[in-house]
Structure 1
Amino acid sequence: MGRMPADHLTDGEWYQLATEFPDGNSAVRLGLRLELLRSEGALKDWWFMRKAPGWRLRLRGADIAAVHRAFEELMVARWWPTIYEPETFAFGGSDGMGIVHELFCADSRGVLDYLRQEDPGIGRRELSLLLINALLQAAGLDWFERGDVFARVAAIRPSAYDSRMDELATDIRFFLLVRIQPPAAFAAPWFAAFETAGRLLGEAAAAGRLERGLRAILTHVLIFHWNRFGLSATTQGILAHAAKTAILPRD
Protein backbone atom coordinates (compact mmCIF):
# COMPACT_ATOMS: atom_id res chain seq x y z
CA MET A 1 0.00 0.00 0.00
CA GLY A 2 1.31 3.44 -0.88
CA ARG A 3 1.66 5.83 2.03
CA MET A 4 2.36 9.53 2.23
CA PRO A 5 5.93 10.82 2.42
CA ALA A 6 6.54 11.91 6.01
CA ASP A 7 7.53 15.43 5.00
CA HIS A 8 4.08 15.96 3.47
CA LEU A 9 2.14 14.86 6.56
CA THR A 10 0.61 17.35 8.98
CA ASP A 11 0.12 16.23 12.59
CA GLY A 12 1.11 12.74 11.49
CA GLU A 13 -2.10 12.11 9.55
CA TRP A 14 -3.22 14.86 7.14
CA TYR A 15 -2.06 14.94 3.53
CA GLN A 16 -2.98 17.78 1.17
CA LEU A 17 -3.41 17.70 -2.58
CA ALA A 18 -4.03 20.67 -4.83
CA THR A 19 -6.30 19.61 -7.67
CA GLU A 20 -7.56 20.94 -10.97
CA PHE A 21 -10.66 19.50 -12.63
CA PRO A 22 -11.71 19.55 -16.29
CA ASP A 23 -15.32 20.28 -15.21
CA GLY A 24 -17.59 20.45 -12.17
CA ASN A 25 -18.92 16.93 -12.65
CA SER A 26 -15.41 15.53 -12.21
CA ALA A 27 -15.25 17.06 -8.73
CA VAL A 28 -18.58 15.48 -7.75
CA ARG A 29 -17.44 12.09 -9.09
CA LEU A 30 -14.21 12.37 -7.12
CA GLY A 31 -16.22 12.89 -3.95
CA LEU A 32 -18.09 9.65 -4.61
CA ARG A 33 -14.83 7.79 -5.20
CA LEU A 34 -13.31 9.16 -2.00
CA GLU A 35 -16.35 7.93 -0.08
CA LEU A 36 -15.83 4.49 -1.64
CA LEU A 37 -12.19 4.53 -0.53
CA ARG A 38 -13.33 5.50 2.96
CA SER A 39 -15.76 2.56 3.09
CA GLU A 40 -12.95 0.24 1.96
CA GLY A 41 -10.58 1.45 4.69
CA ALA A 42 -8.14 3.12 2.27
CA LEU A 43 -8.98 6.55 3.67
CA LYS A 44 -10.08 7.60 7.16
CA ASP A 45 -11.69 10.87 6.11
CA TRP A 46 -11.39 13.86 3.83
CA TRP A 47 -12.58 17.39 3.19
CA PHE A 48 -12.04 20.14 0.66
CA MET A 49 -11.90 23.86 0.12
CA ARG A 50 -12.37 25.64 -3.19
CA LYS A 51 -9.17 27.38 -4.20
CA ALA A 52 -8.27 28.25 -7.80
CA PRO A 53 -7.70 26.43 -10.03
CA GLY A 54 -9.69 23.68 -8.27
CA TRP A 55 -9.78 22.18 -4.78
CA ARG A 56 -7.44 21.95 -1.83
CA LEU A 57 -8.16 18.40 -0.74
CA ARG A 58 -7.21 17.29 2.79
CA LEU A 59 -6.95 13.54 3.35
CA ARG A 60 -6.61 11.81 6.71
CA GLY A 61 -5.01 8.38 7.02
CA ALA A 62 -4.95 7.82 3.26
CA ASP A 63 -3.48 5.09 1.11
CA ILE A 64 -2.09 7.65 -1.28
CA ALA A 65 -1.48 5.12 -4.06
CA ALA A 66 -5.18 4.23 -4.03
CA VAL A 67 -6.07 7.93 -4.07
CA HIS A 68 -3.78 8.58 -7.04
CA ARG A 69 -5.28 5.63 -8.92
CA ALA A 70 -8.73 7.12 -8.37
CA PHE A 71 -7.52 10.46 -9.73
CA GLU A 72 -6.11 8.76 -12.82
CA GLU A 73 -9.27 6.72 -13.45
CA LEU A 74 -11.45 9.81 -13.12
CA MET A 75 -9.09 11.77 -15.38
CA VAL A 76 -8.57 14.62 -12.92
CA ALA A 77 -6.68 17.22 -14.94
CA ARG A 78 -3.83 17.83 -12.48
CA TRP A 79 -2.97 17.15 -8.86
CA TRP A 80 0.13 17.71 -6.75
CA PRO A 81 1.01 17.45 -3.05
CA THR A 82 1.35 20.57 -0.92
CA ILE A 83 1.82 21.14 2.80
CA TYR A 84 -1.37 21.46 4.85
CA GLU A 85 -1.14 24.17 7.50
CA PRO A 86 -4.22 23.95 9.74
CA GLU A 87 -5.53 27.30 10.99
CA THR A 88 -5.33 26.01 14.53
CA PHE A 89 -5.34 29.41 16.23
CA ALA A 90 -8.28 30.65 14.16
CA PHE A 91 -10.32 27.68 15.37
CA GLY A 92 -9.40 27.99 19.03
CA GLY A 93 -6.48 25.61 19.47
CA SER A 94 -6.19 21.84 19.20
CA ASP A 95 -9.57 21.11 20.82
CA GLY A 96 -11.42 23.46 18.50
CA MET A 97 -9.48 22.28 15.46
CA GLY A 98 -10.40 18.66 16.18
CA ILE A 99 -14.11 19.52 16.38
CA VAL A 100 -13.94 21.63 13.24
CA HIS A 101 -12.09 18.95 11.26
CA GLU A 102 -14.94 16.51 11.94
CA LEU A 103 -17.47 19.13 10.81
CA PHE A 104 -15.52 19.96 7.66
CA CYS A 105 -15.48 16.29 6.64
CA ALA A 106 -19.25 16.01 7.14
CA ASP A 107 -19.83 19.36 5.41
CA SER A 108 -17.84 18.25 2.36
CA ARG A 109 -19.99 15.13 2.04
CA GLY A 110 -23.12 17.23 2.52
CA VAL A 111 -22.20 19.73 -0.19
CA LEU A 112 -21.50 16.98 -2.72
CA ASP A 113 -24.69 15.12 -1.74
CA TYR A 114 -26.59 18.35 -2.44
CA LEU A 115 -24.93 18.81 -5.83
CA ARG A 116 -25.92 15.26 -6.82
CA GLN A 117 -29.63 15.90 -6.16
CA GLU A 118 -31.69 16.37 -9.30
CA ASP A 119 -34.20 18.42 -7.32
CA PRO A 120 -32.95 19.24 -3.81
CA GLY A 121 -36.11 21.23 -3.12
CA ILE A 122 -34.22 24.18 -1.61
CA GLY A 123 -31.62 26.65 -2.85
CA ARG A 124 -28.07 26.49 -1.58
CA ARG A 125 -28.24 29.92 0.09
CA GLU A 126 -31.43 29.04 1.95
CA LEU A 127 -30.11 25.63 2.98
CA SER A 128 -26.83 27.12 4.17
CA LEU A 129 -28.71 29.58 6.40
CA LEU A 130 -30.63 26.70 8.00
CA LEU A 131 -27.38 24.80 8.60
CA ILE A 132 -25.64 27.84 10.04
CA ASN A 133 -28.57 28.60 12.30
CA ALA A 134 -28.48 25.00 13.57
CA LEU A 135 -24.77 25.41 14.32
CA LEU A 136 -25.16 28.73 16.14
CA GLN A 137 -28.16 27.64 18.17
CA ALA A 138 -26.47 24.39 19.20
CA ALA A 139 -23.44 26.41 20.31
CA GLY A 140 -25.73 28.20 22.77
CA LEU A 141 -25.73 31.61 21.08
CA ASP A 142 -28.75 33.80 21.69
CA TRP A 143 -30.46 35.81 18.97
CA PHE A 144 -28.23 38.88 19.19
CA GLU A 145 -25.04 36.83 19.54
CA ARG A 146 -25.96 35.12 16.28
CA GLY A 147 -26.38 38.57 14.75
CA ASP A 148 -22.87 39.43 15.93
CA VAL A 149 -21.44 36.41 14.07
CA PHE A 150 -23.06 37.57 10.83
CA ALA A 151 -21.82 41.12 11.48
CA ARG A 152 -18.27 39.78 11.83
CA VAL A 153 -18.57 38.00 8.49
CA ALA A 154 -20.01 41.12 6.82
CA ALA A 155 -17.04 43.14 8.10
CA ILE A 156 -14.49 40.97 6.28
CA ARG A 157 -16.37 40.45 3.04
CA PRO A 158 -16.87 42.90 0.13
CA SER A 159 -19.15 45.83 0.91
CA ALA A 160 -22.63 44.51 0.31
CA TYR A 161 -24.97 46.91 -1.44
CA ASP A 162 -28.22 45.55 -2.79
CA SER A 163 -31.27 47.69 -3.48
CA ARG A 164 -33.42 44.88 -2.09
CA MET A 165 -31.48 44.58 1.20
CA ASP A 166 -34.52 45.18 3.43
CA GLU A 167 -36.52 42.63 1.44
CA LEU A 168 -33.63 40.15 1.67
CA ALA A 169 -33.37 40.73 5.40
CA THR A 170 -37.07 39.94 5.81
CA ASP A 171 -36.71 36.74 3.80
CA ILE A 172 -33.61 35.67 5.71
CA ARG A 173 -35.26 36.39 9.05
CA PHE A 174 -37.73 33.61 8.25
CA PHE A 175 -34.91 31.07 7.83
CA LEU A 176 -33.31 32.22 11.08
CA LEU A 177 -36.55 31.83 13.04
CA VAL A 178 -37.97 28.56 11.72
CA ARG A 179 -37.75 25.40 13.78
CA ILE A 180 -34.48 23.63 12.99
CA GLN A 181 -35.09 20.52 10.95
CA PRO A 182 -33.60 19.09 7.75
CA PRO A 183 -35.59 20.19 4.68
CA ALA A 184 -34.94 16.81 2.99
CA ALA A 185 -33.85 13.32 4.01
CA PHE A 186 -30.46 13.62 2.30
CA ALA A 187 -29.62 16.59 4.55
CA ALA A 188 -30.33 14.86 7.89
CA PRO A 189 -26.71 13.73 8.56
CA TRP A 190 -25.53 17.16 7.47
CA PHE A 191 -27.74 18.92 10.01
CA ALA A 192 -26.73 16.46 12.72
CA ALA A 193 -23.05 17.24 12.08
CA PHE A 194 -23.63 21.01 12.35
CA GLU A 195 -25.60 20.61 15.56
CA THR A 196 -22.97 18.29 17.06
CA ALA A 197 -20.13 20.66 16.18
CA GLY A 198 -22.01 23.63 17.60
CA ARG A 199 -22.74 21.80 20.85
CA LEU A 200 -19.14 20.60 21.24
CA LEU A 201 -17.70 24.04 20.52
CA GLY A 202 -20.12 25.62 22.98
CA GLU A 203 -19.16 23.08 25.66
CA ALA A 204 -15.45 23.59 24.99
CA ALA A 205 -15.87 27.37 25.27
CA ALA A 206 -17.79 27.05 28.55
CA ALA A 207 -15.08 24.77 29.95
CA GLY A 208 -12.31 27.21 28.99
CA ARG A 209 -10.69 24.80 26.52
CA LEU A 210 -10.69 27.18 23.56
CA GLU A 211 -7.94 29.71 22.94
CA ARG A 212 -10.17 32.12 21.04
CA GLY A 213 -13.68 33.48 21.49
CA LEU A 214 -16.54 31.22 20.46
CA ARG A 215 -18.12 33.76 18.09
CA ALA A 216 -14.77 34.44 16.42
CA ILE A 217 -14.34 30.71 15.80
CA LEU A 218 -17.88 30.33 14.46
CA THR A 219 -17.27 33.23 12.08
CA HIS A 220 -14.44 31.27 10.47
CA VAL A 221 -16.53 28.09 10.37
CA LEU A 222 -19.24 29.99 8.51
CA ILE A 223 -16.79 31.39 5.93
CA PHE A 224 -15.26 27.95 5.29
CA HIS A 225 -18.74 26.47 4.83
CA TRP A 226 -19.79 29.12 2.32
CA ASN A 227 -16.57 28.54 0.38
CA ARG A 228 -17.31 24.81 0.13
CA PHE A 229 -20.86 25.55 -0.99
CA GLY A 230 -19.49 27.64 -3.84
CA LEU A 231 -20.82 31.04 -2.74
CA SER A 232 -18.72 33.94 -4.02
CA ALA A 233 -17.23 36.49 -1.63
CA THR A 234 -19.76 39.04 -2.91
CA THR A 235 -22.68 36.69 -2.27
CA GLN A 236 -21.29 35.94 1.18
CA GLY A 237 -21.14 39.66 1.90
CA ILE A 238 -24.75 40.19 0.80
CA LEU A 239 -26.03 37.23 2.83
CA ALA A 240 -24.07 38.18 5.93
CA HIS A 241 -25.17 41.82 5.75
CA ALA A 242 -28.80 40.83 5.19
CA ALA A 243 -28.69 38.38 8.11
CA LYS A 244 -27.09 41.03 10.32
CA THR A 245 -29.82 43.48 9.30
CA ALA A 246 -32.51 40.87 10.02
CA ILE A 247 -31.22 40.32 13.55
CA LEU A 248 -29.71 43.72 14.36
CA PRO A 249 -31.91 46.20 12.44
CA ARG A 250 -30.67 49.70 11.82
CA ASP A 251 -31.92 52.40 14.19
Structure 2
Amino acid sequence: MDSTQRRMLNKVPEVTLLFWLVKMMSTTVGETGADLLSGTLGWGMGVTTVVVGALLAVALVAQFRARAYSPVRYWIVVVLISVAGTLASDMLTDVVGVPLGVTTTVFAVVLAAVFLIWWLQERTLSIHSIDTPKREAFYWAAILVTFALGTAGGDLLGEALNLGYALSAAVFLAALLLVALARFTFGLNAVLAFWTAYVLTRPLGASLGDLLSQPVADGGLGFGTIPVSIVFTVCIVAAVAWFVREQGRVVAPKVITASLAADRMPA
Protein backbone atom coordinates (compact mmCIF):
# COMPACT_ATOMS: atom_id res chain seq x y z
CA MET A 1 0.00 0.00 0.00
CA ASP A 2 1.29 3.48 -0.83
CA SER A 3 1.51 6.30 1.67
CA THR A 4 -1.87 7.71 0.65
CA GLN A 5 -3.61 4.38 1.24
CA ARG A 6 -1.89 3.95 4.59
CA ARG A 7 -3.21 7.28 5.79
CA MET A 8 -6.36 7.41 7.87
CA LEU A 9 -8.67 10.05 9.20
CA ASN A 10 -7.29 12.23 11.99
CA LYS A 11 -7.39 10.13 15.17
CA VAL A 12 -7.75 12.84 17.82
CA PRO A 13 -10.71 15.07 18.77
CA GLU A 14 -11.28 18.73 18.03
CA VAL A 15 -9.78 20.92 20.74
CA THR A 16 -12.66 22.73 22.44
CA LEU A 17 -13.38 23.96 25.96
CA LEU A 18 -15.13 20.65 26.70
CA PHE A 19 -12.02 18.80 25.50
CA TRP A 20 -9.92 20.63 28.12
CA LEU A 21 -12.49 20.04 30.85
CA VAL A 22 -12.61 16.30 30.14
CA LYS A 23 -8.83 16.16 29.90
CA MET A 24 -8.48 17.84 33.29
CA MET A 25 -11.07 15.50 34.82
CA SER A 26 -9.18 12.53 33.40
CA THR A 27 -6.05 13.76 35.16
CA THR A 28 -8.02 14.00 38.41
CA VAL A 29 -9.20 10.41 37.94
CA GLY A 30 -5.62 9.44 37.12
CA GLU A 31 -4.44 10.83 40.44
CA THR A 32 -7.28 9.58 42.63
CA GLY A 33 -7.59 6.32 40.70
CA ALA A 34 -3.95 5.44 41.24
CA ASP A 35 -4.30 6.25 44.95
CA LEU A 36 -7.54 4.27 45.12
CA LEU A 37 -6.10 1.11 43.58
CA SER A 38 -2.66 1.11 45.19
CA GLY A 39 -3.63 2.57 48.57
CA THR A 40 -7.32 2.47 49.44
CA LEU A 41 -7.93 -1.00 47.95
CA GLY A 42 -4.51 -2.22 49.06
CA TRP A 43 -3.29 -3.49 45.69
CA GLY A 44 0.12 -1.93 46.12
CA MET A 45 2.14 -0.11 43.51
CA GLY A 46 3.39 -3.25 41.74
CA VAL A 47 0.03 -4.98 41.21
CA THR A 48 -1.65 -1.71 40.24
CA THR A 49 1.05 -1.00 37.66
CA VAL A 50 0.68 -4.46 36.10
CA VAL A 51 -3.13 -4.27 35.93
CA VAL A 52 -3.21 -0.73 34.55
CA GLY A 53 -0.42 -1.54 32.10
CA ALA A 54 -2.33 -4.55 30.76
CA LEU A 55 -5.56 -2.56 30.39
CA LEU A 56 -3.68 0.26 28.67
CA ALA A 57 -2.07 -2.17 26.22
CA VAL A 58 -5.48 -3.56 25.25
CA ALA A 59 -6.94 -0.06 24.89
CA LEU A 60 -4.02 1.09 22.73
CA VAL A 61 -4.37 -1.92 20.42
CA ALA A 62 -8.05 -1.05 19.92
CA GLN A 63 -7.16 2.60 19.36
CA PHE A 64 -4.45 1.85 16.78
CA ARG A 65 -6.73 -0.55 14.90
CA ALA A 66 -9.39 2.12 14.44
CA ARG A 67 -9.23 4.02 11.17
CA ALA A 68 -10.75 7.22 12.53
CA TYR A 69 -11.38 9.06 15.77
CA SER A 70 -13.67 7.26 18.19
CA PRO A 71 -14.57 9.21 21.37
CA VAL A 72 -15.00 6.07 23.48
CA ARG A 73 -11.70 4.49 22.43
CA TYR A 74 -9.80 7.75 22.66
CA TRP A 75 -10.91 8.78 26.14
CA ILE A 76 -10.50 5.29 27.59
CA VAL A 77 -6.86 5.47 26.51
CA VAL A 78 -6.49 8.97 27.98
CA VAL A 79 -7.87 7.94 31.38
CA LEU A 80 -5.72 4.79 31.52
CA ILE A 81 -2.62 6.62 30.34
CA SER A 82 -3.28 9.24 33.02
CA VAL A 83 -3.21 6.53 35.69
CA ALA A 84 -0.10 5.00 34.09
CA GLY A 85 1.71 8.35 34.04
CA THR A 86 0.87 8.89 37.70
CA LEU A 87 2.15 5.43 38.58
CA ALA A 88 5.38 5.97 36.61
CA SER A 89 6.14 9.14 38.56
CA ASP A 90 5.08 7.70 41.92
CA MET A 91 7.10 4.54 41.33
CA LEU A 92 10.27 6.56 40.86
CA THR A 93 9.71 8.83 43.85
CA ASP A 94 7.95 6.57 46.37
CA VAL A 95 9.49 3.18 45.57
CA VAL A 96 12.89 3.91 44.05
CA GLY A 97 13.43 7.06 46.10
CA VAL A 98 14.38 9.46 43.30
CA PRO A 99 13.90 13.10 44.41
CA LEU A 100 11.00 14.96 42.82
CA GLY A 101 13.31 17.58 41.35
CA VAL A 102 15.22 14.86 39.52
CA THR A 103 12.13 13.05 38.23
CA THR A 104 10.63 16.32 37.01
CA THR A 105 13.84 17.13 35.14
CA VAL A 106 14.13 13.63 33.69
CA PHE A 107 10.55 13.61 32.39
CA ALA A 108 11.03 17.09 30.92
CA VAL A 109 14.13 15.89 29.04
CA VAL A 110 12.32 12.75 27.85
CA LEU A 111 9.39 14.83 26.59
CA ALA A 112 11.76 17.15 24.73
CA ALA A 113 13.43 14.09 23.17
CA VAL A 114 10.05 12.69 22.05
CA PHE A 115 9.16 16.01 20.43
CA LEU A 116 12.57 16.30 18.76
CA ILE A 117 12.44 12.80 17.28
CA TRP A 118 8.82 13.33 16.24
CA TRP A 119 9.75 16.58 14.47
CA LEU A 120 12.81 15.09 12.76
CA GLN A 121 10.75 12.15 11.51
CA GLU A 122 7.53 13.93 10.53
CA ARG A 123 8.35 17.66 10.35
CA THR A 124 5.19 18.46 12.31
CA LEU A 125 3.94 18.23 15.89
CA SER A 126 0.41 19.26 14.98
CA ILE A 127 -2.44 17.27 16.47
CA HIS A 128 -4.44 18.00 13.32
CA SER A 129 -2.38 15.52 11.33
CA ILE A 130 -2.41 12.38 13.49
CA ASP A 131 -3.26 10.33 10.43
CA THR A 132 -0.57 7.63 10.26
CA PRO A 133 0.41 4.89 12.74
CA LYS A 134 3.82 6.49 13.27
CA ARG A 135 2.38 9.89 14.10
CA GLU A 136 -0.13 8.30 16.43
CA ALA A 137 2.66 6.42 18.20
CA PHE A 138 4.55 9.69 18.74
CA TYR A 139 1.33 11.34 19.91
CA TRP A 140 0.60 8.75 22.60
CA ALA A 141 4.23 8.62 23.69
CA ALA A 142 4.13 12.39 24.21
CA ILE A 143 0.81 12.12 26.06
CA LEU A 144 2.21 9.50 28.45
CA VAL A 145 5.27 11.60 29.25
CA THR A 146 3.18 14.76 29.76
CA PHE A 147 1.14 12.92 32.39
CA ALA A 148 4.27 11.68 34.15
CA LEU A 149 5.88 15.12 33.94
CA GLY A 150 2.72 16.82 35.20
CA THR A 151 2.52 14.40 38.13
CA ALA A 152 6.13 14.98 39.12
CA GLY A 153 5.86 18.75 38.68
CA GLY A 154 2.64 18.93 40.67
CA ASP A 155 4.09 16.85 43.51
CA LEU A 156 7.24 18.97 43.44
CA LEU A 157 5.24 22.15 43.92
CA GLY A 158 2.63 20.82 46.33
CA GLU A 159 4.74 18.50 48.50
CA ALA A 160 8.46 19.18 48.15
CA LEU A 161 7.97 22.96 48.15
CA ASN A 162 5.10 22.75 50.68
CA LEU A 163 2.69 24.95 48.75
CA GLY A 164 -0.26 22.68 49.52
CA TYR A 165 -2.93 21.39 47.17
CA ALA A 166 -5.10 24.51 46.96
CA LEU A 167 -2.25 26.93 46.29
CA SER A 168 -0.65 24.52 43.82
CA ALA A 169 -3.92 24.27 41.89
CA ALA A 170 -4.15 28.08 41.84
CA VAL A 171 -0.58 28.39 40.52
CA PHE A 172 -1.16 25.90 37.69
CA LEU A 173 -4.51 27.48 36.82
CA ALA A 174 -2.84 30.89 36.61
CA ALA A 175 -0.12 29.44 34.35
CA LEU A 176 -2.78 27.85 32.13
CA LEU A 177 -4.65 31.15 31.83
CA LEU A 178 -1.39 32.87 30.87
CA VAL A 179 -0.91 30.34 28.07
CA ALA A 180 -4.46 31.02 26.85
CA LEU A 181 -3.83 34.77 26.99
CA ALA A 182 -0.58 34.40 25.07
CA ARG A 183 -2.29 32.26 22.44
CA PHE A 184 -5.42 34.32 21.80
CA THR A 185 -4.02 37.80 22.46
CA PHE A 186 -0.39 37.69 21.42
CA GLY A 187 -0.50 34.91 18.82
CA LEU A 188 1.55 32.24 20.59
CA ASN A 189 2.22 29.32 18.26
CA ALA A 190 -0.77 26.96 18.35
CA VAL A 191 1.31 23.78 18.67
CA LEU A 192 3.43 25.20 21.49
CA ALA A 193 0.33 26.50 23.26
CA PHE A 194 -1.44 23.14 23.01
CA TRP A 195 1.38 21.04 24.41
CA THR A 196 2.18 23.56 27.15
CA ALA A 197 -1.47 23.54 28.20
CA TYR A 198 -1.54 19.75 28.02
CA VAL A 199 1.33 19.53 30.50
CA LEU A 200 -0.18 22.15 32.83
CA THR A 201 -3.65 20.59 32.99
CA ARG A 202 -2.10 17.42 34.44
CA PRO A 203 -0.82 18.94 37.73
CA LEU A 204 -3.91 21.20 37.87
CA GLY A 205 -6.22 18.18 37.76
CA ALA A 206 -3.99 16.20 40.12
CA SER A 207 -3.85 19.04 42.65
CA LEU A 208 -7.62 19.34 42.46
CA GLY A 209 -7.98 15.59 42.98
CA ASP A 210 -5.68 15.64 45.99
CA LEU A 211 -7.44 18.69 47.42
CA LEU A 212 -10.80 16.92 47.24
CA SER A 213 -9.71 13.43 48.29
CA GLN A 214 -6.91 13.77 50.83
CA PRO A 215 -7.58 14.00 54.61
CA VAL A 216 -8.11 17.41 56.17
CA ALA A 217 -5.00 16.86 58.32
CA ASP A 218 -2.93 16.63 55.12
CA GLY A 219 -4.40 19.78 53.58
CA GLY A 220 -7.27 18.20 51.67
CA LEU A 221 -11.04 18.38 52.04
CA GLY A 222 -11.33 14.74 53.09
CA PHE A 223 -13.93 13.45 50.61
CA GLY A 224 -11.86 10.32 49.93
CA THR A 225 -10.54 8.69 46.75
CA ILE A 226 -13.61 6.53 46.10
CA PRO A 227 -16.29 9.28 45.95
CA VAL A 228 -14.03 11.66 44.02
CA SER A 229 -13.06 8.96 41.50
CA ILE A 230 -16.70 7.96 41.00
CA VAL A 231 -17.99 11.52 40.55
CA PHE A 232 -15.31 12.50 38.03
CA THR A 233 -15.64 9.21 36.15
CA VAL A 234 -19.39 9.76 35.80
CA CYS A 235 -18.71 13.27 34.48
CA ILE A 236 -16.23 11.90 31.94
CA VAL A 237 -18.70 9.23 30.79
CA ALA A 238 -21.41 11.88 30.34
CA ALA A 239 -19.04 14.09 28.33
CA VAL A 240 -17.93 11.19 26.13
CA ALA A 241 -21.59 10.32 25.50
CA TRP A 242 -22.02 13.93 24.35
CA PHE A 243 -18.99 13.60 22.05
CA VAL A 244 -20.47 10.43 20.53
CA ARG A 245 -23.81 12.15 19.99
CA GLU A 246 -22.22 15.17 18.35
CA GLN A 247 -20.01 12.98 16.16
CA GLY A 248 -23.11 11.11 14.97
CA ARG A 249 -24.85 14.36 14.12
CA VAL A 250 -21.88 15.44 12.01
CA VAL A 251 -21.20 12.11 10.29
CA ALA A 252 -24.80 11.21 9.42
CA PRO A 253 -25.38 14.11 6.97
CA LYS A 254 -22.06 13.33 5.27
CA VAL A 255 -23.06 9.69 4.79
CA ILE A 256 -26.46 10.69 3.39
CA THR A 257 -24.86 13.20 1.01
CA ALA A 258 -22.34 10.63 -0.21
CA SER A 259 -25.11 8.07 -0.72
CA LEU A 260 -27.22 10.50 -2.74
CA ALA A 261 -24.22 11.45 -4.85
CA ALA A 262 -23.53 7.78 -5.57
CA ASP A 263 -27.18 7.19 -6.56
CA ARG A 264 -27.00 10.03 -9.05
CA MET A 265 -23.88 8.75 -10.77
CA PRO A 266 -24.55 7.29 -14.22
CA ALA A 267 -24.24 3.53 -14.53
Establish whether TM, by shorter chain, passes 0.5: no
Compare the two structures and name the one with the higher strand fraction: 1
- Could you tell me the TM-score, scaled by structure 1's length? 0.29
From the CA coordinates, give the structure whose radius of gyration is larger: 2
- Could you tell me the TM-score, scaled by structure 2's length? 0.28
